[in-house]
């Protein structure tokens, strides 16, 4: 089954204070332990839990700081990124 496929891991119950227990197999696979951060996302009517990647988070902050040092706002970079993605896609897939 592809990694991106949605599949149930089991049923959990919400505790008195809203806490949940993450299934052991998921904790092991994603190296989660007490105090690990996860991001909870709402996707339509569903909730998705994604481990926080601190390395990626640090990299994003460094990129943002470097852009700011060059006088480029995050909004400008994102707008330019859309154009770069379109150009790259056309080069790769439209010959």
Whether residue 39 is found in the same domain as residue 9: yes
- Report the chain (95 residues): mean pLDDT per 10 consecutive residues: 66 92 88 89 84 78 88 85 87 81
pTM: 0.47
Please name which of 56, 74, 78 lies closest in space to residue 64, comparing C-alpha atoms.
74
Q: What gap in Å lies between CA 33 and CA 74, rounded to an integer? A: 33
* Residue range of the domain that includes 75: 55-93
Number of domain units in the chain: 2
Whether residue 20 is found in the same domain as residue 41: yes
Whether residue 70 is found in the same domain as residue 31: no
Whether residue 81 is found in the same domain as residue 41: no
Whether residue 76 is found in the same domain as residue 87: yes
Please name which of 34, 31, 30, 39 lies closest in space to residue 21, comparing C-alpha atoms.
34
CATH of the domain at 16: 2.10.260
Query: Is the four-CA dihedral 14, 46, 51, 32 of positive or negative sign?
Result: positive
Whether residue 59 is found in the same domain as residue 44: no
């Amino acid at each position: 089954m592809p990694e991106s496929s949605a599949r149930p891991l089991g049923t959990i119950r919400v505790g008195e204070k809203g806490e949940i227990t993450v299934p052991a197999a998921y904790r092991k696979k994603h190296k989660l332990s007490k105090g690990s951060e996860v991001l909870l996302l709402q996707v339509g009517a569903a909730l998705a839990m994604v481990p926080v990647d601190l390395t990626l988070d640090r990299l994003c902050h460094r990129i943002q700081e470097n852009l700011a040092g060059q006088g480029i706002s995050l909004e400008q970079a994102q707008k330019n990124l859309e154009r770069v993605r379109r150009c790259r896609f056309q080069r790769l897939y439209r010959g």
